[in-house]
Amino acid sequence: MAGPERRFVARSELPVDRETAFAWHDRPGALPRLSPPFLPAEVAEPGRGLAEGSRVVLRLPVGPLRGRLAPRWVAEHTRYDPPREFVDVQRSGPFARFAHRHRFEDLGPGRSALVDDIAYRVPLGRLGEAVAGRTVRRTLAAMFAYRHRVTREDLAAHAAKEVDPMHVVVTGASGLIGRALSAFLTTGGHTVTRLVRREPSGPDEARWDPAAGTVDREALARADAVIHLAGEGIAERRWSDAQKRRIRDSRVDGTRTIAQALAALGDDAPRTLVCASAVGYYGDRGDAELDEASAPGEGFLADVVRDWEAAADPAREAGIRTAHVRIGIVQDPAGGALGKVLPLFRLGLGGRLGSGRQWWSWVSRDDVVGILHHALTTPEVEGPINATAPEPVTNAEWTRVLGRVLGRPTVLPVPALGPKVLLGGELAQELLFTSARVRPRRAEETGYVFRHPDLEGALRFLLGRDQAPS
């Protein structure tokens, strides 16, 4: 016997007219921006936008079932009526029925409302409703709280800048930050060209080889700006001498390749270069408050970051505005420090690292994206700018807050010896036990408004424990 049909409705007011809101959803990048990190889904086939008949295929990882083994969700767009609404329905997937109507209401000049109206049935009829109905409703509420907040804040961020659409070349576009940034820029109406090391697979890609010092200069000349994010992962493997060389060379050589190529373009060069950097610049500084005017610290990462930033000098000397975004400990359940420890914390096995007194200068993924966008579009931002939340916390406080958000105990401290044996002493020390109390002074002075200024609010949003949409 078929179970009851349920309806879920979420409504939010947006700070733009409905034409702008609809266009945001109709651009490349909308689906990645709207995919919650606490409900991972892989886009197997992105479809042809929102046009009627276009199909999107998602893979839904379940336990060890990932990639081609993961269950599929196939959604087909069945109505396209800009700027009023579009509709998609499930053709195959986890629900017995799922029809999703996206409506855009006109609320007057510069204002609109987004309404997500979903009719669905869970599988297995009344039994499925009894077993899973409550979980489905809770999941939909968390998902659309996330989606509506991202939509509101992305639209507000783009509207606040009032810049013409730009053509931006991005390196490292396949990484955690690069994917989010590319989606943010394209939904905002900008064009993104990704620099890749393989043969380009489409018009939105161009070739470069940082080890050989080569890059497609024609792609650079067509751009208004370059955002350089590429670099070997710091914690991908234990630090041997060879791995430390790879970490340094990937950053220094890559930045030098971009900077020299831009300088060689002369009057045809993009006007802005934004480079990723890291708070590792400051080294281990105990309880001292640090900002962009602070001197560099000591240690391997501090040395790498100093050389990394200096490698951009050819662009700076050529008159290209150059900014270095010193990124803190990124909070994202899909990767980074948070992603690695979540399984332990969810089991109630998380705890502070060593004494827990070391300062962790954390930042949400979307605030990293936001500060990169701020550096891109704010002419007075030049030189270093810290991408860290306004209130750094100690590792002990970070541990307590994550436990509270998850509703799990955090009473088991992790002795410093454990990570040092697992990761190697130098890597563990610099990654986990170094203390850097970094403030985002330059971002605040130039008017950046943080989406996630406090840790608990950030973690609740990222882990799907935020409030329902308003």
Q: State the Cα–Cα distance between residues 448 and 440, nearest whole angstrom.
A: 10
Residue 102 and residue 182 in one domain: no
pLDDT tens profile 327-338: 999 999 988 888
Task: Identify whether the C-beta of residue 272 lies closer than 8 Å to the C-beta of residue 320.
Answer: yes
- Structural domain count of the chain: 2
Contact (Cβ atoms closer than 8 angstroms) between residue 78 and residue 55: no
**Same domain flag for 251 and 344:** yes
The CATH number linked to 367 is: 3.40.50.720
327 and 297 in one domain? yes
Domain boundary among 161, 180, 210: 161
Last residue of one domain, picked from the residues 122, 137, 161? 161
> Is residue 413 one of the residues assigned to a domain?
yes
Angstrom distance (rounded) from CA 277 to CA 122: 47
What Å distances lie between residue 284 and 91, 234, 355, CA to CA?
Answer: 54, 17, 15
Residues 344, 443, single domain; the answer is yes
The burial class, CB within 10 Å (0-12 / 13-18 / 19+), for 32 is middle
**Tens place of pLDDT per residue across the chain (470 aa):** 556 899 999 999 999 999 999 999 999 999 999 999 998 788 888 888 899 999 999 988 776 667 777 789 999 999 999 999 999 999 999 999 999 999 999 999 999 999 999 999 999 888 888 888 899 999 999 999 999 999 999 999 999 998 999 999 999 999 999 999 999 999 999 999 999 999 999 999 999 999 899 999 999 999 999 999 999 888 778 889 999 999 999 999 999 999 999 999 999 999 999 999 999 999 999 999 999 999 999 999 999 999 999 999 999 999 999 999 999 999 999 888 888 889 999 999 999 999 999 999 999 999 999 999 999 999 999 999 999 999 999 999 999 999 999 999 998 888 887 778 777 888 888 888 899 999 999 999 999 999 999 999 999 999 999 754 43
**Backbone φ, ψ for residue 49 (5° rounding):** 70, -150
Helix (H, G, I), strand (E, B) or coil at 170: strand
pLDDT on residue 220: 97
- Cα 362 to Cα 456: distance, rounded to the nearest angstrom: 12
Question: Same domain, yes or no, for 144 and 233?
Answer: no
- Burial code (b: 16+ CB inside 10 Å, e: under 16) for 239-273 equals beeebbebbbebbbbbbbbbbbbbbebeeebbebb
State whether 317 and 440 are in the same domain. yes
Are both 198 and 154 inside the same structural domain?
no
Q: What is the DSSP string of 249-303?
A: HHHHHHHHHHHHHHHHTGGGS-SEEEEEEEGGGG---TT-EE-TTSPP--SHHHH
Rg of the chain on CA atoms, in Å: 23
Query: 82 and 38 in one domain?
Result: yes
Q: Please report the pLDDT score of residue 470 as a whole number.
A: 39
Summarize pLDDT for 143-190 with one digit per residue, the tens.
999 999 999 999 999 999 989 999 999 999 999 999 999 999 999 999
Domain carrying residue 13: 6-161
Question: How distant, in Å, are the alpha carbons of 118, 147, 234, 399, 452 from that of 137?
Answer: 11, 15, 39, 29, 26
If DSSP codes are grouped into helix, strand and coil, which group holds residue 469?
coil
Residue 125: enclosing H or E segment and its boundaries? Answer: helix 125-161
The torsion region of residue 386 among left (phi > 0), alpha (psi -120 to 50) and beta comes to beta
Structure tokens at 207: 């070739």
Same domain, 72 and 212: no
pLDDT in tens, 277-316: 999 999 999 999 999 999 999 999 999 999 999 999 999 9
The Cα–Cα gap between 208 and 195 comes to 6
Task: Please tell me whether residues 182 and 248 are part of one structural domain.
Answer: yes
Among 126, 143, 161, identify where a domain stops.
Answer: 161
Please return the burial class of 328, using the count of CB atoms within 10 Å of its CB with bins 0-12, 13-18 and 19+: buried
49 in Cβ contact with 30 (< 8 Å): no
